Amino acid sequence: MRESVSIWQNHWLLGSSNCNIQDSNVRVDVTQVSKLIDEHTRTWNEELIRSIFTFQEANRIMCIPLAQIRIWFYEPILPRQLIVARWTLHCEDVAKINVDATLNAELRIATSGAIFCDHEGMVLVSFSSTIVEAFDAPSIEAFALRHSESL
């Protein structure tokens, strides 16, 4: 999947207004995000990135963590087994609420969300939101809980 992400056409850069690259030195020989990664060291190619992108974009790119190894090659390794299971709650007048949040501390951007399910596991309502100028995970988690209470 990573090999097919276009630097110039896909929305992949968190923190820019529309997740696209803005005003950069477009190079026709570097079109895929995978070309920005040194495959031997599994790190961002900082020299290449700084030669193509603005200072802010380069910093945002290099803040994206890279996996040290790829453990899934998009092909099933083990035989596929079909397991059908559905969460149920025994009381019909009770709902399950799952609330979570994520935080990129360097960019100070967070997301939070919640999903409400009925006793059959069917989604009743859900929400997600992006928070800019986020400072710490406990505050973001609290925000997600507070926002879910209003639903």
Per-residue pLDDT tens for 84-137? 666 555 677 777 888 888 888 888 888 888 888 877 778 888 888 888 887 788
17 in any annotated domain: yes
Residues 72-82 have pLDDT tens digits of: 555 655 566 66
Q: What is the pLDDT at residue 48?
A: 92
How far the first Cα of the chain sits from its last, in Å, is: 36
Residue 31 lies in a domain: yes
CA distance 148 to 124: 13
Parallel, antiparallel, or unpaired: how do β-strands 37-38 and 109-117 relate? unpaired
Assess if residue 83 is contained within a domain.
Answer: no
Same domain, 54 and 102: no
pLDDT at 47: 93
What domain range is 127 assigned to? 96-149
Question: Which pLDDT score is estimated for 1?
Answer: 43
**Domain tally, the chain:** 2
- pTM beyond cutoff 0.75: no
Residue 101 lies in a domain: yes
Is the domain of 103 the same as that of 55? no
Note the helical H segments in the chain. 46-52, 55-62, 137-149
Is 80 exceeded by the pLDDT of residue 70? Answer: no
- Cβ 123 vs Cβ 117: under 8 Å: yes
**Is position 70 within any domain?**
no
Question: 106 lies in a domain?
Answer: yes
Do 31 and 8 form a contact (C-beta atoms < 8 A)?
A: yes
Residue 14 confidence (pLDDT): 66
User: Is 74 within a domain?
Assistant: no
pLDDT at 73: 54
Domain membership of residue 87 (yes or no) is no
Q: Is the pLDDT of residue 17 over 50?
A: yes
Give the whole-number percent of the chain exceeding pLDDT 90: 4
Going by pLDDT thresholds of 50, 70 and 90, the confidence category of residue 6 is: confident
Number of other residues whose CB lies within 10 A of the CB of residue 111: 17
Pair type for strands 37-38 and 123-132? unpaired
Where does residue 134 rank: exposed (0-12), middle (13-18), buried (19+ CB within 10 A)? buried
Residue recorded with tokens 């193509």: 52
β 96-104/109-117 pair status: antiparallel
CA distance 135 to 105: 7
Average pLDDT across the chain, whole number:
76
Per-residue pLDDT of 31-65, as tens digits, reads 888 889 888 888 899 999 998 888 888 888 888 87
Same domain, residue pair 7 and 55: yes
